[in-house]
Amino acid sequence: MELEKIRQAAEKNNGFIRTYELREMKIDYRGVQRLIRDGELIKIKNGLYKLPGGDSSEEELVAGLFPDGVLCMESALYYHGYTSLPPLKWNIAVDKDTSKSRFDIGYPFVKPFYYERDQLMIGAVPLQMGSARMYVYDKERTICDCLKFENKMDRSLYNQAIRAYIDDPDKNAPLLFEYAMKRRIYKKAKNILGVWL
């Protein structure tokens, strides 16, 4: 009975369950330790557990840990095929009020980008990552962020991303400029990309 409740709760949460959910099921610290010892739960980090079985890929783990996050910057460039090098860290955009301790994990390596609530979901599209879901910025939002944070990016990656977008037959220039207005970089976008689009 207890395990079935845990399974149902985990299924709603991309395969993960948090300590507060276990407490709501009247499972205390000793009960959690017993479930771990018996192989019924696997501890990911303090306050977060997953069910055993079905080896999760790193991307499923990221989606499970940050279902409210959005893949951005180098991670989004990689997803869209604008770079062939996988990023060393998962770049994830989150609400600026998100607790910084959520990212205090040894694995997977995550780099958070904190955004205002009204800016966070501009250009975010759902993404299925194995058995889990999260979001990724579409191509236009990703390029806008590259323009906005040009000084924080590797120069060759920045140039590669801009060139890849210009050469992309599926680009949507009007949407890019709409996002550029919202991200307050319209003039920069027009100066750098206007001639090519």
pLDDT confidence of 56, banded at 50, 70, 90? low
pLDDT greater than 80 at residue 87 = yes
The per-residue pLDDT for 138 is 97
pLDDT greater than 80 at residue 86 = yes
pLDDT confidence of 54, banded at 50, 70, 90? low
The per-residue pLDDT for 85 is 83
| Percent of the chain clearing pLDDT 70 (strictly above) | 95
- Which pLDDT tens digit goes with each residue over 10-25? 877 767 788 888 888 8
Task: Report, as an integer, the average pLDDT of 145-149.
Answer: 95
For the chain, state the CA radius of gyration: 20
123: left (phi over 0), alpha (psi -120 to 50) or beta: left
pLDDT confidence of 55, banded at 50, 70, 90? low
The per-residue pLDDT for 91 is 94
How many residues are given for the chain? 197
